[in-house]
Amino acid sequence: MSNTAIQVEHLSKMYRLGVINNGTLWQDIQTYFAIKFKKDDPHSKIGENRYSGDKDHFWALKDISFEIKQGDRVGIIGKNGAGKSTILKMLSRISSPTEGSIKIKGKVASLLEVGTGFHGELTGRENIYLNGAILGMKVKRIDEKLDEIIEFSGIEHHIDTPVKRYSSGMYVRLAFAVAAHLDSDILIADEVLAVGDAEFQKKALGKMQDLSTGEGRTVLFVSHNMTAVRNLCINGIVLNNGLITYSGVINECITSYLSDKIKEGIINNYWEFENAPGYKNIKVKSAYIKYEGEKLTVKTSFDIITEFWCMEEGFPVNVSMHLYNSTGECIFNIFTANIPLSKGLHKAVFHIPANFMNDGNYYINNWFVYNSTNYYIHERSNSFEIEEDRNISGWHGKWIGAVRPINFIARTLE
């Protein structure tokens, strides 16, 4: 494998839904051994896609292959149910593949769920030694790392308390500190880091980057936070329905993952009252873009308009428009005043001036907020594309960032 840390070839994973249930024990045995020895199921339908699944089984992964180099930081992204956690569980040897092979060079430390590998009756200190022993470390080596682990976790005052009394945040702090500091060659972290607070997430991401660049460890990171994935990872793998749809540089992977959610052009949406999205006090009638001219370019001013029905007289609400780019980053938000509304139809208009937005694809999330803890989020209410104006002289590339560069004359100090 030379410089290869992980090599996956033709990996598939099938989960059974209930029982095999072909009708007889003999037929069930035939199906079992056909799958085990990579043969065609004699009881499958002719012409059936073997990975399509049926009422009795489900393929979480379907014949995927990839290779990860030592010291690489790889983000695995995809929607819920795409197969991300299934891959990590097999790489961690928690579950075995139905088909294919996995070759791993080195020790693996996994952080898949809150409290993974911890015994609830043992203290935090005792669990550090337990995890070290599982990785094959000697007590002397764990002693050398102990103070560093405890300090990084930030739970010094609770380290001798049984972990069953820990909060989920304390669990993940200690679990990550153990996985990051004990001797391992590959660190696998699932969405579990989302349990920690913002400060700890930043600290954990920085530590994983240091492990890769400074110690040459391989890091696999799964998250729905595209900003965190982009900041940490170098390369990526995009999964959809158990298949790899894209792999390569992380920015390109994120763009590929989000591209199916943002269509090119302008997508305006209108709803009838009966099927309008919303909640008991608010129903959304429409979300659309209004502008003059044949097309929306960087030199065009436009309005983002949301119409909605207020269902209660005197209901106080403000509308907050969140604008996102194609990689899922929130560029900015604009909001209306929070005032009591009359019962009936209302309109929120957000004006975007010309020569402000950069060219690219964008989408809108509308928030209807009536106090700090009660709100309704209308996700992806509409989307639009802003085109470059090629008549601009002297520049025919793409400006960096989401907004246009601003020309100004600086005054000199006198």
Main-chain phi, psi angles of 331, to 5 degrees? -80, -45
Output the pLDDT for position 410: 43
Lowest average pLDDT, out of 46-60, 153-167, 232-246, 368-382, goes to: 46-60
Residues of the chain with pLDDT > 90, as a percent, come to 20
Quote the CA–CA distance of 200 and 153 in Å, as a whole number.
Answer: 9
Contact 284, 276 (CB under 8 A): yes
Q: Which residue type occupies 88?
A: L
The model's pLDDT over 353-374, given as tens digits with 9 standing for 90+, comes to: 998 888 888 899 999 988 766 7
Quote the CA–CA distance of 377 and 319 in Å, as a whole number.
Answer: 10
Q: Which residue type occupies 262?
A: I
- Beta-strand relationship, 330-335 and 339-341: unpaired
Residue 236: is its pLDDT beyond 90? Answer: yes
DSSP β-bridge partners for residue 269? 287
Output 50 or 96, whichever has higher pLDDT: 96
Output the pLDDT for position 413: 41
Rg (CA), the chain: 26
Quote the CA–CA distance of 84 and 187 in Å, as a whole number.
Answer: 15
Q: Which residue type occupies 347?
A: K
Dihedral Cα 128, 134, 138, 141, nearest 10 deg: -40
The model's pLDDT over 328-350, given as tens digits with 9 standing for 90+, comes to: 788 888 888 888 899 999 999 99
Would the CA dihedral through 274, 275, 278, 280 be positive or negative? positive
Q: Which residue type occupies 224?
A: H
Q: Give the single-character DSSP code of 181.
A: H
pLDDT, mean of residues 36-60: 61
Please, what is the end-to-end C-alpha distance for the chain in angstroms?
A: 66
Sorted by where each starts, the structural domains of the chain and their CATH numbers stand as 71-259 (3.40.50.300), 269-386 (2.70.50.60)
Q: Is 241 helix (H, G, I), strand (E, B) or coil?
A: coil
Q: What is the DSSP string of 301-370?
A: -EEEEEEEEE-STTEEEEEEEEEEETTS-EEEEEE---EEE-SEEEEEEEEE-TTTBPSEEEEEEEEEEE
- Beta-strand relationship, 282-291 and 302-310: antiparallel
Quote the CA–CA distance of 260 and 239 in Å, as a whole number.
Answer: 13
pLDDT classification of 264: cutoffs 50, 70, 90: low
- Mean pLDDT (the chain) is 81
Supply 153's token pair: 């976790």
Crossing angle between the packed helical segments 124-134 and 168-181, to the nearest 10 degrees: 40
Output the pLDDT for position 408: 44
The model's pLDDT over 168-182, given as tens digits with 9 standing for 90+, comes to: 788 888 888 888 887
